[in-house]
Amino acid sequence: MTSEDHSIPAFPAGRPWFMVNEVVAFVVELAALAALGWWGFATGDGVASRLLLGIGAPAVAAVVWGLFAAPRARFRPPLVGVLLVKAVVLGCGVYAVHAVGHPGAAVFFGVVVVVNTGLAETFRRRVAAAA
């Protein structure tokens, strides 16, 4: 037996798993924006503040994501910076779900965010190393 026979990969790194996780990542990102909008429309005191928060919070999150965390981001900080932006934006989405009165859904969403982001970074590294 060779040493390769004893190695068991920690995660399935095949292309189909990578693509499925990328789709899930996109859905998670959209869900975070929707949660921020939901929170904003539910939080404001009057019509103007609800509109401002309901439209503004997801808009600011989308701009920050596009500048620093998107695959084709205008500015590409080191990995720790990208992960920090993702943590803030997606974490705000998780908080928004909790703030509108759904703590169980917020916990579930938070777990999905953490697992998906961890898998995404793992898969991206493996795909990049294989290329």
Could you identify the residue written with the tokens 């705000």?
A: 92
In angstroms, rounded to a whole number, what is the distance separating the alpha carbons of residues 49 and 73?
30
Across the chain, the runs of DSSP E, i.e. the strands, are: none
Q: Output the tens digit of pLDDT for each of the chain's 131 residues.
A: 444 444 444 545 557 777 888 899 999 999 999 999 999 999 988 999 999 999 999 999 999 999 999 989 999 899 899 999 999 999 999 999 999 999 999 999 999 999 999 888 887 766 666 66
Rg for the chain, CA atoms, rounded: 18
Q: Domain coordinates of the chain in residue numbers?
A: 14-130
CB contact at 8 A, 57 and 39:
yes
Considering the entire predicted model, what is its pTM?
0.82
CB contact at 8 A, 37 and 57:
yes
In angstroms, rounded to a whole number, what is the distance separating the alpha carbons of residues 114 and 31?
14
